[in-house]
């Protein structure tokens, strides 16, 4: 029996919105410690990893580890039926192939129940090594979203260059090029508005903007975003989910290839 | 009195059946009765039908003066008591319902009075047998005469206003725009007059002639007006000028020289006989009309400017002199004799036309060369590439790549390596790139090619994270 009651139901809605563009089907792993999800996009270029700890739920019960294969589109449709203020409860029997979702309006006068069919997914799980990154940049999430959106107008690739001066995003395209530079800014009043750069060595990596733009769907989850980079390893874009977990997106860099492109 | 009964019946129909608020105006209009008669009808009707409510028009004198009020029958006595002297009391309207507020009274006849506003006297009891309606011809005549008057008015106003505007806006360009602004008005006015005289064929000639005559008779104010008559040529020239400007660069000096003589003349003659100088200008322009447009433009423009300046400023000497200073320097050397300019013009026209052609040729030359040059460059490149292609080599290469199962495999293949072409390499090397990390050292053709080939390849996330054995 799995049951999780989340008072702040909007969080789950936002999480779902942040996931559904990048993965169509994913396996939600329910363990006693919490909910987690790991999935790659269809082209196996990026990977998203979600963690929602058990203590973030008002009520959490997981008798047996479950892997719920969920069609993200369907889940998204159902979660759209929930109000932003609703309390969301997820329930699944150990043997059942259905997930029950219950939405309670804040005053309890309206209770909606939905059932979603689960799928049998054969998911490859990747082991993500803990890694020290050469650079980690924390910046306002809306700024990052804005930069990705703007530069996606210019070109398909963004070069992220992190030096001690700051972090620079640049894109080139047929019509020209664009560069956005963010300098470290610790003076902002809100912590979310601060730009902090921690680095041990300068990094320059190239990424496909379209994936970054998919990552920024999580912008509403958190006021700040953390980018972690090292040369020749995937970029990590991390959004905190309140105090109960995080969404981490991993994006493989574009590698300067002496070979031709296929 | 049969009629009267029928009137009553008609009123009864209106009041009782159509449930209307029937005023004496409505009765008058519907039954084509004089007002006084309509009131009588209403009064009579009210007497016979006690069920209806009546509103009276009560006129009387108060201490403050004459007072006319609409009063319901109920309040009639009271209202009469308030008046010092009652002059008259007529029924205003008859209706079935009892009115609670006066709005219906206002709105009742609104539509009707609006439509019959101009035939209000049609039902009047007072007739004048001597009056007769105008025939259509007469009406047309009246309208025409009205038009004429208005046209003249506009003429006068424009003439008066244009100099004012000129004084307000000294900038030369604005002056031209203001001229354009005034022009159409006059044109239309001219055409109108032309229509009046049924001389549509000769409109333009007549109008221009008329204008010339008018301007001669009139004073300096005519200056801008006359420009307006010239405008057609001036306009054309202005439009063309934009196109031919590049050529004009060369031609400019000469036309200015041509223009200079009239300029010099005009300020001098202006005080004595401005109209003559203007005529001369016209003549000149007419002469020039046939030859290439550049000259016309420059001339007319300059002329326009001059005349503007002259006409705009009440004391033109001040402003014309500075311009005269600037321009005469160019003018003087060529315009020593008064008559020469015309001949010179022709010569210069030829020259300028030849220069134009030359400039045309220049332009063509300018335009054409660039296209061949790139072609040359391209062709050069192509040749180079072809040359490199000739150097294709067959090489035995060993490829190491990661299998789907993760095992490393090596293969040896004969491959053709071309030093330059980018397209062929892909085919040959395509075997190499499978998900794994590329480790090979290839025989790289040349550093240049290498940089050209460098492209960002999207790596797979699978290459960075190992699969979990548990999953």
CA-nearest residue to A250 within chain B is B461
Q: Would you say residue A185 lies in a domain?
A: yes
Q: What is the pLDDT of residues A139-192, one digit of tens each?
A: 999 999 999 999 999 999 999 999 988 999 999 999 999 999 999 888 888 888
Q: What is the pLDDT of residues A82-122, one digit of tens each?
A: 999 999 999 999 888 899 999 999 998 999 999 999 998 87
Residues A61 and A154 in one domain: no
- Looking at chain B, the domain(s) classified CATH 3.90.1030.20 span 2-119
Q: What is the pLDDT of residue A45?
A: 92
Min distance A56 CA to chain B CA atoms (Å): 26
What integer is the mean pLDDT of B226-240?
41
Q: How large a percentage of chain B has pLDDT more than 70?
A: 33
User: Which of B88-92, B152-156, B230-234, B459-463 bottoms out in mean pLDDT, i.e. has the lowest?
Assistant: B230-234
* Facing residue for B456 by CB, picked from A46, A124, A257: A257
Return the SS3 of B407: coil
Residues A89 and A146 in one domain: no
Highest mean pLDDT among A241-245, B233-237, B459-463: A241-245
Are B13 and B65 in contact by the 8 Å Cβ rule? The answer is no
pLDDT at B242 over 90: no
Q: What is the pLDDT of residues A210-254, one digit of tens each?
A: 999 999 999 999 999 999 999 989 999 999 998 899 999 999 999
Q: Would you say residue A128 lies in a domain?
A: no
Q: How many domains in chain A?
A: 2
Inter-chain contact A126–B466, Cβ cutoff 8 Å? Answer: yes
The H or E element spanning position B28 is: helix B24-31
Among candidates B425, B421, B422, B463, which has minimal Cα distance to B442? B425
A253 interaction partners in chain B (CB closer than 8 Å): 459
* Facing residue for A252 by CB, picked from B442, B444, B461: B461
Min distance B371 CA to chain A CA atoms (Å): 23
Q: Would you say residue A13 lies in a domain?
A: yes
Return the SS3 of B393: strand
B457 interaction partners in chain A (CB closer than 8 Å): 254-257, 259, 261
How many whole angstroms separate alpha carbon B237 and alpha carbon B299? Answer: 9
Residue B120: CB atoms within 10 Å: 13
Taking any CB pair shorter than 8 Å as contact, residues of chain A touching chain B are 40, 43-47, 123-129, 157, 206, 208, 233-234, 250-262
DSSP string, B261-286: HHHHHHHHHHHH-HHHHHHHHHHHHH
Last residue of a domain, one of A88, A117, A146: A117
Q: What is the pLDDT of residue A57?
A: 93
Superfamily of segment(s) B2-119: DNA polymerase delta, p66 (Cdc27) subunit, wHTH domain (3.90.1030.20)
Residues A147 and A109 in one domain: no
Q: Would you say residue A59 lies in a domain?
A: yes
Inter-chain contact A257–B461, Cβ cutoff 8 Å? Answer: no
| CATH number assigned to the domain comprising residue A56 | 3.70.10.10
Q: What is the pLDDT of residue B155?
A: 55
pLDDT at B215 over 80: no
Q: What is the pLDDT of residue A87?
A: 95
Give the count of alpha carbons within 13 A of B267, CB side only: 21
Domain enclosing residue A223, as ranges: 135-251
Q: B46 or A250: whose pLDDT is higher?
A: A250
B406 interface with A at CB cutoff 8 Å:
no
Q: What is the pLDDT of residues B390-446, one digit of tens each?
A: 455 566 667 676 766 777 766 666 665 554 444 444 444 444 444 444 444 344 344
Estimate the crossing angle of helix B253-272 against helix B293-312, to 10 degrees.
30
Q: A204 or B172: whose pLDDT is higher?
A: A204
Residues A10 and A113 in one domain: yes
Highest mean pLDDT among A225-234, B31-40, B238-247: A225-234
pLDDT at B15 over 70: yes
Backbone angles phi, psi at A127, to 5 degrees: -85, 120
């Amino acid at each position: 029996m799995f049951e999780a009651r989340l008072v702040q139901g909007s969080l789950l809605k936002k999480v779902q919105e942040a996931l559904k563009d990048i993965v169509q089907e994913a396996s939600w792993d329910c363990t006693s410690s919490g909910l987690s999800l790991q999935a790659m996009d269809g082209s196996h270029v990026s990977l998203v990893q979600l963690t929602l700890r058990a203590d973030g739920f008002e009520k959490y019960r997981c008798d047996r580890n479950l892997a719920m294969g969920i069609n993200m589109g369907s889940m998204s449709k159902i979660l759209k039926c929930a109000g932003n203020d609703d309390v969301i409860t997820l329930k699944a029997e150990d043997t059942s192939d259905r997930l029950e979702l219950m939405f309670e309006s804040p005053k309890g006068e309206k209770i909606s129940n939905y059932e979603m069919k689960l799928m049998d997914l054969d998911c490859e799980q990747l082991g993500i090594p803990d890694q020290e990154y050469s650079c980690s940049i924390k910046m306002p999430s809306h700024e990052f979203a804005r930069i990705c959106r703007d530069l996606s107008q210019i070109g398909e690739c963004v070069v992220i260059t992190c030096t001690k001066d700051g972090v620079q995003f640049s894109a080139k395209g047929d019509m020209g090029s664009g560069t956005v530079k963010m300098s470290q800014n610790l003076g902002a009043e809100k912590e979310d508005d601060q730009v902090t750069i921690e680095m041990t060595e300068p990094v320059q990596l190239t990424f496909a903007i379209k994936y970054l733009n998919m990552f920024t769907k999580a912008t509403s989850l958190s006021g700040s975003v953390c980018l972690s980079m090292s040369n020749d390893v995937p970029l990590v874009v991390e959004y905190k989910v309140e105090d109960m977990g995080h969404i981490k997106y991993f994006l493989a860099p574009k590698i300067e290839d002496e070979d031709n492109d296929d | 009195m049969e009629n009267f009964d029928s009137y009553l019946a008609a009123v009864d129909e209106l009041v009782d059946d159509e449930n209307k608020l029937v005023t004496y105006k409505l009765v008058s209009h519907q039954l084509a009765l004089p007002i006084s008669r309509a009131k009588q009808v209403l009064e009579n009707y009210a007497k016979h039908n006690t069920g209806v409510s009546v509103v009276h028009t009560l006129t009387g004198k108060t201490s403050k003066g004459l007072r006319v009020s609409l009063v319901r029958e109920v309040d009639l006595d009271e209202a009469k008591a308030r008046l010092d002297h009652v002059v008259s009391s007529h029924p205003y309207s008859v209706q079935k319902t009892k009115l609670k507020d006066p709005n219906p009274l206002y709105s009742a006849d609104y539509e009707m009075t609006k439509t019959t506003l101009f035939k209000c006297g049609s039902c009047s009891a007072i007739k004048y047998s001597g009056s007769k309606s105008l025939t259509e011809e007469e009406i047309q005549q009246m309208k025409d005469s009205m038009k004429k008057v208005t046209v003249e008015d506009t003429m006068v106003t424009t003439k008066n206003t244009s100099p004012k505007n000129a004084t307000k806006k000294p900038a030369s360009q604005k002056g031209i725009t203001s001229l354009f602004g005034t022009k159409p008005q006059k044109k239309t006015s001219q055409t109108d007059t032309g229509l009046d005289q049924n001389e549509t064929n000769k409109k333009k000639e007549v109008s221009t002639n008329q204008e010339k005559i008018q301007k001669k008779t009139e004073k300096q104010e005519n200056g801008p007006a006359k420009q307006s008559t010239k405008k057609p040529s001036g306009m054309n020239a202005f439009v063309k000028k934009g196109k031919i400007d590049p050529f004009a660069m060369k031609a400019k000096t000469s036309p200015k020289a041509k223009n200079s003589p009239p300029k010099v003349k005009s300020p001098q003659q202006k005080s004595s006989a401005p109209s003559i100088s203007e005529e001369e200008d016209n003549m000149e322009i007419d002469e020039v009309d046939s030859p290439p447009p550049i000259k016309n433009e420059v001339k007319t423009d300059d002329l326009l400017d001059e005349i503007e300046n002259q006409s705009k400023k009440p004391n033109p000497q001040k402003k014309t002199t500075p311009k005269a200073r600037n321009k005469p320097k160019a003018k003087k050397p060529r315009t020593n004799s008064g008559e020469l300019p015309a001949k010179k013009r022709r010569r210069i026209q030829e020259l300028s036309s030849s220069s134009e052609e030359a400039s045309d040729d220049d332009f063509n030359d300018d335009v054409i060369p660039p296209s061949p040059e790139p072609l040359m460059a391209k062709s050069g490149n192509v040749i180079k590439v072809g040359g490199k292609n000739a150097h294709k080599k067959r090489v035995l290469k060993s490829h190491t790549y990661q299998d789907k199962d993760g095992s490393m495999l090596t293969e040896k293949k004969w491959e053709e390596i071309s030093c330059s072409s980018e397209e062929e390499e892909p085919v040959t090397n395509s075997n190499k790139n499978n998900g794994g990390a590329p480790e090979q050292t290839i025989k790289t053709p040349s550093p240049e090619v290498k940089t050209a080939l460098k492209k960002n390849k999207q790596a797979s996330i699978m290459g960075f994270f190992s699969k979990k054995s548990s999953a």
